[in-house]
Amino acid sequence: FESLITRQFHYVDRTDHIPLLEKAGDQLLFLRPRRFGKSLLLSMLENYYDLKKADRFDELFGGVAIGQTPTAERNRYFVLKWDFSEVSAQGDKEEIQQNLYRYLNARISSFSYYYRDVLSVSLQIDPQDALASFQSLLNATQQTGHPLYLLIDEYDNFANELMMGHRSAEESRYQAILTGEGVLKALFKTIKAAAGTRGLGRVFITGVSPVVMSDLTSGYNVARNIYLKPQFNELCGFREEEIAAMTTEIARECDLPQARADEAMETMRTFYNGYCFSRETERRVYNPTLALYFLEEFHDSCRYPSRMLDSNLAMDRGKLHYISRLPEGGRLIFDALSEETQATVPELADRFGVEDMLYAPKDTNFAASLLYYFGVLTQGGMTPFGRLILRIPNLVIRKLYAETIREMLLPEGKDGDM
């Protein structure tokens, strides 16, 4: 965020959502498919709340919505950010614990150096126990009178790597880190205990699906789910009018007629549009990774990209294979790809664990919900009987995910176009 603003790049403003997020609660869980702009959202929040950036508020936020009417909480917090996509899922449960502890200690050490002028006592880093290091951090920040804001990006990343492995050993490693005294459960129990009373003022967590959070059970049952709320439907992703404004500006810079901008808009609508994250709104948003892939090529060469697919969005085949094996997962994909039938569910599940998905009765909607959270399906309105329609959001996702899963499900030798 800081780089976008200071280098005067185009920033699609979502700072007007800050008051809504503050009102929503002190501990929030926000889910979106991968590559949907969650990390930029956290970066914006980090810059807004960081007490060390108070003197740069006008520079960073003067030109965006929140700069005109900032909240009382601006620049009040120490900010600690963790990104679990940087934690390796390799090794047994002891090695995974060491991977996580090593990462957390590195972030806590960086925090200590960054805030060295504000902290009155030094942090004690325990190489063998990052939870003790985190406790030391909380003790140090409490003495200053300023609360801590903890941002966790991709909270479920390395746990998903284990969950979606093919081998039973990986399933047991998944259970080992999330149950009993498992390292991830222990970490979130520590966060839960620190919230409010030990100086941890706010927590904002992003991820892809609620599965890992559900399997933590009592380890962390205090976060409010905001990912299906209509007021946060467009918190990440681009609105159509924002895309249209960008195509018009690019066409102008390229000395192209408005008709070319309109044509570009129509192309993007067909290939990239279609995500809806609340049944209470009909507004659809574009995946920003796909949209920027197209817009950057259009801007740089004044032509559309020759390939409409950005390979950065591709999900690895292991995850796709996992989805294809879920009870009812295959039928849902075939229904969504079909012209004659619709994939429908009574409602999306917002808390369900691995056991629910793998061993639930076949008429449950856990598999459909997982396909939704991973971005393979999206909300498509309601049936006359009140069931939620799930559909493939656009042509790129149809090609990238849905057809790949269908190929995995077809017996060898069958026609792939059936």
What's the mean pLDDT in 277-293? Answer: 89
Question: Using 50, 70 and 90 to split pLDDT, how confident is the model at 371?
Answer: confident
Judge if 357 and 394 occupy the same domain: yes
What's the mean pLDDT in 272-292? Answer: 88
Question: Using 50, 70 and 90 to split pLDDT, how confident is the model at 187?
Answer: very high
Judge if 105 and 214 occupy the same domain: yes
Q: How far apart are CA 96 and CA 90, in angstroms?
A: 7
Judge if 191 and 179 occupy the same domain: yes
What's the mean pLDDT in 172-197? Answer: 83
* The last residue of a domain, from among 280, 311, 342: 311
- Residue 342 confidence (pLDDT) above 70: yes
Question: Using 50, 70 and 90 to split pLDDT, how confident is the model at 179?
Answer: confident
What's the mean pLDDT in 296-306? Answer: 90
Judge if 339 and 196 occupy the same domain: no
Residue 414 inside a domain? The answer is no
Most confident of 149-153, 262-266, 300-304, 376-380: 149-153
Residue 224 inside a domain? The answer is yes
Chain mean pLDDT for the chain: 86
Q: How many CB atoms lie within 10 A of CB 325?
A: 16
User: pLDDT tens, 58-71?
Assistant: 999 999 999 999 99
Judge if 389 and 355 occupy the same domain: yes
Judge if 35 and 151 occupy the same domain: yes
Residue 417 inside a domain? The answer is no
Question: Using 50, 70 and 90 to split pLDDT, how confident is the model at 218?
Answer: low
> What is the per-residue pLDDT for 343?
80
Helix H or strand E encompassing 175: helix 168-178
Inter-residue contact 272 to 279 (CB < 8 Å):
no
Judge if 269 and 393 occupy the same domain: no
* The last residue of a domain, from among 190, 207, 232: 232
Judge if 37 and 135 occupy the same domain: yes
Residue 415 inside a domain? The answer is no
Domain range for 284 is: 240-311
Of 247-261, 273-287, 288-302, 391-405, the least confident: 391-405
What's the mean pLDDT in 223-245? Answer: 92
Residue 70 inside a domain? The answer is yes
Residue 284 inside a domain? The answer is yes
Of 28-42, 189-203, 310-324, the least confident: 310-324
- Residue 362 confidence (pLDDT) above 60: no
Determine what percent of the chain is predicted with pLDDT higher than 70.
Answer: 89
Q: Number of structural domains, the chain?
A: 3
Residue 416 inside a domain? The answer is no
Of 94-98, 138-142, 188-192, 355-359, the least confident: 355-359
Judge if 26 and 90 occupy the same domain: yes
Report CA Rg, the chain: 22
User: pLDDT tens, 136-172?
Assistant: 999 999 999 999 999 999 998 877 777 776 556 556 7
Question: Using 50, 70 and 90 to split pLDDT, how confident is the model at 88?
Answer: confident
Q: Where are the alpha helices (DSSP H) in 338-418?
A: 354-359, 366-373, 395-397, 403-409
Q: In what order do the strands lie in the sheet with 148-153?
A: 78-83, 148-153, 200-207, 27-31, 224-225
Judge if 79 and 178 occupy the same domain: yes
Judge if 152 and 270 occupy the same domain: no
Judge if 327 and 404 occupy the same domain: yes
